[in-house]
């Protein structure tokens, strides 16, 4: 049986070689893509996957001090880099050992981009790469409803009442403070961002609570 299978593939190989021999280069490309598209895609996906694994082994990412999501906020082209730099200088002794990651989610009015952005957000939440969530006030309130955020009273931080943003979840209609307005944030003001329209909160499933709270305090500081 195996001999017959080998003979079959040997004959098929000869037939394919003969076909390709009589074709121009463009015809060869078109033919191969038409009849072997699925195999090519599978091989490409496998190679990319293996490449990412090898790259991760040879060049492992710097462990996360904390992950910050800025959601549907255009904060300027330089915001991510400048925010990371300022917070790193304040909180991290050796940037080679820990890093503050800023993940920007900005889709505009494109429904496809919005769907992709929501999927990316869910993926990062599932892998627990996010610790702080920053969004425009109304958007933030929607995510309070989803149960994505930790009540402020569970953080142990003392926050002025006028900065607290209240809401309730789908599972619990009790009104609690889940967010903190950024109107007094020194780093946002220094970077030219109007914080009064923006709210920040702690992701409910954070695994780096101590670091997250230290970063949150640094963001809220108004000096």
Question: Do the Cβ atoms of 149 and 179 come closer than 8 Å?
Answer: yes
* pLDDT tier, 10 (very low <50, low <70, confident <90, very high otherwise): low
Same domain for 117 and 53? no
Same domain for 86 and 68? yes
Q: pLDDT digit string (tens) for 111-166?
A: 677 778 888 888 888 888 999 999 998 889 988 988 899 999 999 999 999 999 99
Same domain for 125 and 73? yes
Same domain for 85 and 185? yes
Same domain for 126 and 181? yes
Q: Is 220 exposed, middle or buried (0-12, 13-18, 19+ CB in 10 A)?
A: buried
Same domain for 6 and 93? no
Last residue of one domain, picked from the residues 35, 58, 81: 58
What is the number of structural domains in the chain?
Answer: 2
* pLDDT tier, 28 (very low <50, low <70, confident <90, very high otherwise): low
Pairwise CA distance, residues 147 & 169, whole Å:
5
Which CATH number is 140's domain given? 3.40.190.10
Give the mean model confidence (pLDDT) for residues 91-105.
Answer: 91
Q: pLDDT digit string (tens) for 202-216?
A: 999 999 999 999 999
Same domain for 206 and 96? yes
Pairwise CA distance, residues 6 & 9, whole Å:
5
Tell me the residue range of the domain where 7 lies.
Answer: 2-58
Same domain for 181 and 140? yes
């Amino acid at each position: 049986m195996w001999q017959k299978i080998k003979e079959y593939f040997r004959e098929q190989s000869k037939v394919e070689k003969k076909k390709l021999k009589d074709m121009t280069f463009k015809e060869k490309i078109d033919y191969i893509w038409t009849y072997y598209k699925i195999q090519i895609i599978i091989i490409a996906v496998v190679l990319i996957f293996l490449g990412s694994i090898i790259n991760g082994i040879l060049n492992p990412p710097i462990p996360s001090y904390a992950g910050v999501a800025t959601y549907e906020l255009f904060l300027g082209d330089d915001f991510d880099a400048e925010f990371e730099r300022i917070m790193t200088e304040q909180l991290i002794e050796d940037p080679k050992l820990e890093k503050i990651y800023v993940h920007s989610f900005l889709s505009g009015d494109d429904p496809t981009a919005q769907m992709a952005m929501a999927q990316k957000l869910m993926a990062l939440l599932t892998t627990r790469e996010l610790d702080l969530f920053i969004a425009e006030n109304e958007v933030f309130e929607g995510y309070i409803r989803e149960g994505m955020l930790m009540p402020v009273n569970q953080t142990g931080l003392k926050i002025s009442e006028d900065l607290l943003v209240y809401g309730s979840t789908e599972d619990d209609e009790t009104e609690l403070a889940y967010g903190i307005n950024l109107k007094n944030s020194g780093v946002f003001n220094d970077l030219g961002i109007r914080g009064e329209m923006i709210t920040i909160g702690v992701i409910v499933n954070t695994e780096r609570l101590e670091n997250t709270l230290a970063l949150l305090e640094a963001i809220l500081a108004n000096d």
